[in-house]
Structure 1
Amino acid sequence: MKSSTFGRRGLLQASGALLLPLAAPKLARASTPATLRFVPQSNLSTLDPVFTTAAVTITHGYCVFDTLYGVDAQMRARPQMAEGATVSEDKLTWLIRLREGLRFHDGEPVRAQDCAASLTRWSKRDTFGQTLGAAVEAFEAADDRTIRIRLKRPFPRLLDAIGKPHSSPAFIMPERLAMTDPSKPVTEMIGSGPFRFVADEFVSGSRAVYARFADYRPRDGAPEWTSGGKQAHLERIEWIIMPDPATAAGALQAGEVDWWEQALPDLIPTLTRRRGITVQRQDPYGFIAHARFNHLQPPFNNPKLRRAVLSALRQEDYMRSIVGEDPEGWRQCRAMFPCGLPDVTEAGVQDMPASLDAARAAVKNSGYNGETAVILNPADYPSISPHGLLTADLLRQIGIKVDLQEMDWGSVLQRRLSREPVEKGGWSIYHTNWPSVSIANPAMNATIRGQGSTGWTGWYESAEMERLTLEWLDAATPEDGRRLMDQIQRVAFDDVPSLPLGQYFSRTAYRENVTGILPGSAAFFWNVRKG
C-alpha cells in the first residue's frame, strides 16, 4: 500500500497543531511554590470518572477520589482505602475492611454503605465491572467499616477488578452521589482523595483547580502507581487548558506553567535543549491508539467492510503522525492487546497491509452500498486529530464515501453516545487512545468486549467473545489462559470491533523545580513537590 497523501507537516497543520513560535500566554499571576500549574492533555469537559473513560477525567478522578484497592508497577492489586480482604471457604463471600479515619471532603466519614453504593454504580458502567456485576448477588455493608460482596459464583479476579487503574477505576463516592442513575454523570465532586475539587473556580475549556485535603489519611509506605502512601505536598493545583501545543511549550519555557502532561513530539527537541526542563516517558507501558466503529449503523455494521478497512491499514502512518521519526516513540503492534504485556501475541492477524487494489476489491465484495461514513475528529487533541485525517484519506482511497467532521474533544465525547443514523446526528468512526494497562486482559479490554448495548460506545455484540472472556476468567492454569487469549484475538480479528493503530509512548515535560513525579498511566499529583 502507498503511504498516505498527507505528510506529517500537513497533518499537523490541518489538525490545528501548526508549529508556531513558542509564545507564552499571559497568565493571571506567577506560580508560587505552593501552587503547581499543569497543562492537561485535553479539556476537562466531563467530571464524573465513572461515567466516562476519557483519560483526562480519570486523571481528575485520581485527584478527587480514592479506591478500595490500587495497583503496583506490576499491576498487582494492593489495599488502598481497605485494610485488606478475606474470602469465604466456598469463595462466594468477600469481606473488605476499611481503614480507620477515612473522611470525605464534606467532613462525613467514609462508610461501607458508601462503598457498596459506589461499587454497584461502577459495576453498571465499567467493562470489567459489568463482568464482575453479573457474578454479584449484592454489594452491601456488613457494618460501617466492612463491605460484604455476595457472589453467585466464584470470581477469583475480584480484587483485580475493583483495583484496576483504568478505565474507569472503581472510585468511591458518598452514597448520596453513588445513587445517581448510572446513565447520568455525577456533577458534584465530593471524594475522599488527597485533593478537593474547587468547584467555584472551574471553567470548562479554561481551568480547573484542586486544593490539598487536610484530612486525607494516606497509607504508610512509598507510593507506587495507584497504591501506597499518597502524600499530598502541594497546597493547590491549577489546570490550565491550552489546546495549542506551541502555546503550552512556550508557557513551560517561560515558567508560567510547571508541568505539561503530553509534550508534542515535534517540540520535544526544543524542550530537551532548554535548561531547566526535564522531558521523560511517563507510562512505561505506553498507549494503544484505536479507531472505533459504530456497529449499530451502516456502513460499519457490516463485518466484511470492517475487515476490508483493516486489510489496508498501515500502523506506521498513524504512529508517525503523532511521534514523528523517533524510533523509540512507537512500535508496531498487530494485536488487540498491548504488545509486551504477558500472554500477548499477534495470533489471528491477517496480512496487513494488503495492496490498495486488494482492499478496493474487498470493499466492493463486502456489499457496501455507498453509505457515508461520518468521522468525528477532535481538532484540539494533538495525539488524536491526525488520525481522523489519515482514516478519511484511507477510506476514500479504497472507495468509501467520507464526511470528516471537525470538533473539540468534549463534543466527540458527547456525540459518540448517539445511536442515531448519521443523518440524524450519529457517527461511523471516532479515534481514541487507551493506556495499555487499561486494556491488558480480556475482561478489561472494552475495545473488543462483545457486550452490545451495555458495552463501550460502538456497541459491538458477540456472544462468542463474551463466552471466551468468561472462560478466560475461570482458566485453571496459565497455559489455559494463554490459549484463550489467542482464541479471543482470532475472534477479534475476524469481527474487527475496532482498528488497532499501533502502540506509542508519550513524553511528559516539567520544570526542574518540580520533583517526585511518579510513573503511571495518568498524571498523579501525590508525592509531587515544587521548590
Structure 2
Amino acid sequence: MNFKKWGILVSVLLLTFVLAACSNKDGEKEEGSNDKSGGTEQKQYKDTLNIAVTAQPPGLDSSLTVSTVALGISLNIFEQLYTLNASYEPTPMLAESVEQSEDGLTYTFKLREGVKFHNGKEMTAEDVEASMNRWLATSSRAKVLLEGAKFETVDKYNVKLTVAKPTSDVMILISSRAQYASIMPKEIVEAAPADGIKEFVGTGPYEFKEWKQDQYIHLVKNEDYQGVDGEPSGYAGRKEAPTANLYYHFVTDHSTRIAGIQTGKYDIADSIPIENYDQLDADKNIQLSTFPGGALTAFLNTNEGLLANQKYREAILAALNNEEIMLASFAKPELYSLAPSYLNENQVQWSNDAGKDYYNQANPEKAKKLLEEAGYKGEEITLLTTKDYAEMYAATLVIQEQLRQIGMNVKVDSYDFPTFLETKNDSSKWDLFVASTGYQSTPPQILAVTPDWAGLNNDQVKNSLTAIRSAATPEDAKKEWAKLQGFLYEFGSSTVIGHYNEVVATTNKIEDYEQFETSVVWNVKVSE
C-alpha cells in the first residue's frame, strides 16, 4: 500500500467547508473620505479588539482541553508544526516540510529556522521534541490514536516521528485543532504540572499578557512575530496582527453580550442566542455570521450508576424527542437539522444514517416498557449541565422533563463551564450530560469515541477505530465507520440530538475577519 497516496486521498475527500469571511453590511471597505479641504482623510484604526465569549476557559493548555473558547484564544499564542487550511488540508506552519518513509512508519519534519518564542529564545528541534512528546502523553486523542509513537531530535532543525503502525491520518491528527500540539520552549514543557501549563509562551502573533479571573484574558501583539507567506486560509497562511491588543471578555450573561455588541463595547460576540437573532439581524451596524457548528450530543454513563445497565440507556434513547429538544435549544428550525450522523451531514466521506432505528424515537411507551423490564424502582439519576452554554442548558431541561414523563426520578446539577468539565471527569457524579460538540475531520477524533471524554472504554470501539484507520481504501474506511456509528447507538453510550449552526455577531467596523471553526482574529482591523 502506498501510504503517501492514501493520506493525500483522505485529505482531498475531507469536507471542504470554506467559511466566508465577514465584511461590513454592504460588502465594501471604505478606503477614505473627503475632508472639507478636498483632500482624502486616511481611515484610522483602533489598537484594541474586544471579543465577548460566553464562558471562561478552563485553561489554555491546548493538549488537555476540548473547550472551544480555550482553543480559540490559545491559537493566537501557540502554533503547530502543521495546521489546517480552509480546505482542511494539512499545511506547514512551524515546519517547512515533512518527509514520509515508504513503510509509513517515519515522518521527518524540517523546521523553519530563526523562529523565536515570545521569551526571545529560538525554536529548535529539542523544543519540538519535548512539546510533541508531551502532546502524545497528555492529549486523550493522541494517546489512543498514536499509541506507541515517539518524536526524536535528528539535528537542530529536524525532528523525526516514529509511529507504531502505519495509518492514513497521522498528518490530520498533527494538524487538527482538537487538543492540538502547541510548540513551547523545552524548559516550560519539562516544568509543566499535571493539571496543565501555567506559562503561556509560544511563537504566535500574540503574546499572553494577563488573565483576570472571571473578567478577561488580555493578549498583546508579538512585535517579533515571524510568520509564513501565503493568503490567509483557515488557520494557515499570513498572520499580521494589525491590532495591538486583544481582550477576550468572559460574558456569561447573554443579554449583556447582546447589549455590548449593539453599543459597540464589544467588536465580536460569540454564541448569539437564537432568540436575539432577528433583533440583531435588523441592526444595520451589526453583521451576523452563521456556519455549521457541530452536533448537540447526549453522553450516557456506561461505567457507573443506573445507566451502567444497557437496558436503562435503551429506555432513555427510546424516550428522547429530538425535535422538541432542538427547538427549545435553537428556537429557529432553519438553524438546526435532525440526523443521526456524528459528523457533518455534508461530509460525504463519512456521513451516514447508521443507528437511525435508535435515533429520535420519541416513544415514551417503549421507554416505560424497557424501564419495567430493567426493574426500575425510582432511583434518582443526575443530569449534568452548565448555564454558560444556553443550548446545552435548555436541552438538559427538556430531557429532564421527557424522562420524568416516562416515570424516571431526575435531578439537574448545573455549574459554570470550567466546573462542568471538571465534574464530568468524575463518572460517579453524573448519569447523562449534553454537550455542543464541534465537527471533526475524521471519526477517530470525535468525542463520542474518546475514552477520556465520557468514559467509553470498549474493545469493539477500539477495534473499529483501528479498522477505520488501516482500511485499504476510503470506501472501506467509510463502511467500518458506519458499523461503528451503528454500534454506538445500539450500545447507547451516546446519541446525536441534532446538528446546529453557530451564530457570531460582529460590528461593521471590523475588517478581515474570518470564521473557521472559531473566530480567526489575528488579521482583524477595527476602524474608529
- Equivalence for 1:257: 266
- Equivalence for 2:182: 171
- Equivalence for 1:5: none
- Equivalence for 1:74: 87
Of residues 298-307 and 366-375 in structure 1, the stretch that sits farther from structure 2 once superposed is 366-375
CA distance in 1, matches of 2:362, 2:333: 25
Cα shift readout 1:242-283 (whole Å, capped 9, x = no counterpart): 1111111111111111110221111121111112111111x4
- Equivalence for 2:431: 428
Q: How does 1:343-422 map to 2 (within 5 A)?
A: 343-351=350-358, 352-419=360-427, 421=428
Structure 1 residue 54, shift from structure 2 partner: 1.0
Structure 1 residue 446, shift from structure 2 partner: 2.2
Alignment-mate amino acid for residue 87 of structure 1: Q
- Equivalence for 1:316: 323
- Equivalence for 2:24: none
Contact 1:448–1:498 (Cα < 8 Å) also in 2: no
Of residues 476-485 and 147-156 in structure 1, the stretch that sits farther from structure 2 once superposed is 147-156
Q: How does 1:24-63 map to 2 (within 5 A)?
A: 33-63=46-76
**TM, length-normalised to structure 2:** 0.87
Contact 2:62–2:181 (Cα < 8 Å) also in 1: no
- Equivalence for 2:484: 488
| Secondary structure class of the residue paired with 1:290 | strand
- Equivalence for 1:519: 515
- Equivalence for 1:452: none
Q: How does 1:456-471 map to 2 (within 5 A)?
A: 456-471=452-467
Residues 156, 358 of structure 1: alpha-carbon distance in 2 compared, 3 angstrom cutoff? closer
- Equivalence for 2:128: 115
Q: How does 1:142-157 map to 2 (within 5 A)?
A: 142-157=154-169
Structure 1 residue 296, shift from structure 2 partner: 2.1
**Does residue 335 of the first structure (1) align with residue 344 of the second (2)?**
no
CA distance in 2, matches of 1:171, 1:132: 18
Count residues with an aligned counterpart.
482
Structure 1 residue 487, shift from structure 2 partner: 0.9
- Equivalence for 1:246: 255
| Secondary structure class of the residue paired with 2:308 | coil
Structure 1 residue 51, shift from structure 2 partner: 1.4
In structure 1, runs of 5+ residues without a counterpart are: 1-30, 450-454
In structure 2, runs of 5+ residues without a counterpart are: 1-43
Structure 1 residue 367, shift from structure 2 partner: 4.2
Of residues 500-509 and 261-270 in structure 1, the stretch that sits farther from structure 2 once superposed is 261-270
Cα shift readout 1:162-212 (whole Å, capped 9, x = no counterpart): 00122x11222222232356842112211111111113xx12211111101
CA distance in 2, matches of 1:119, 1:261: 31
Structure 1 residue 488, shift from structure 2 partner: 0.9
Contact 1:299–1:368 (Cα < 8 Å) also in 2: no
Cα shift readout 1:277-313 (whole Å, capped 9, x = no counterpart): 11111x4x32111122222211121222112211222
| Secondary structure class of the residue paired with 1:433 | strand
Structure 1 residue 135, shift from structure 2 partner: 4.2
Alignment-mate amino acid for residue 312 of structure 2: L
Contact 2:59–2:70 (Cα < 8 Å) also in 1: yes
Contact 2:456–2:493 (Cα < 8 Å) also in 1: yes
| Secondary structure class of the residue paired with 2:437 | strand
Which of residues 179, 182, 185 in structure 1 aligns to 2:196?
185
**TM, length-normalised to structure 1:** 0.87
Alignment-mate amino acid for residue 359 of structure 1: A
Contact 1:291–1:499 (Cα < 8 Å) also in 2: yes
Contact 2:447–2:453 (Cα < 8 Å) also in 1: no
Structure 1 residue 74, shift from structure 2 partner: 2.3
CA distance in 1, matches of 2:225, 2:243: 13
| Secondary structure class of the residue paired with 1:50 | coil
Alignment-mate amino acid for residue 99 of structure 1: R
Cα shift readout 1:70-98 (whole Å, capped 9, x = no counterpart): 11222111111110100123322210011
Contact 1:70–1:163 (Cα < 8 Å) also in 2: yes
| Secondary structure class of the residue paired with 2:452 | coil
Structure 1 residue 41, shift from structure 2 partner: 2.6
Cα shift readout 1:122-170 (whole Å, capped 9, x = no counterpart): 223334312343141x21111121111122322332111100122x112
Residues 528, 445 of structure 1: alpha-carbon distance in 2 compared, 3 angstrom cutoff? same
Structure 1 residue 458, shift from structure 2 partner: 2.1
Alignment-mate amino acid for residue 244 of structure 2: E
| Secondary structure class of the residue paired with 2:486 | helix
Alignment-mate amino acid for residue 178 of structure 1: V
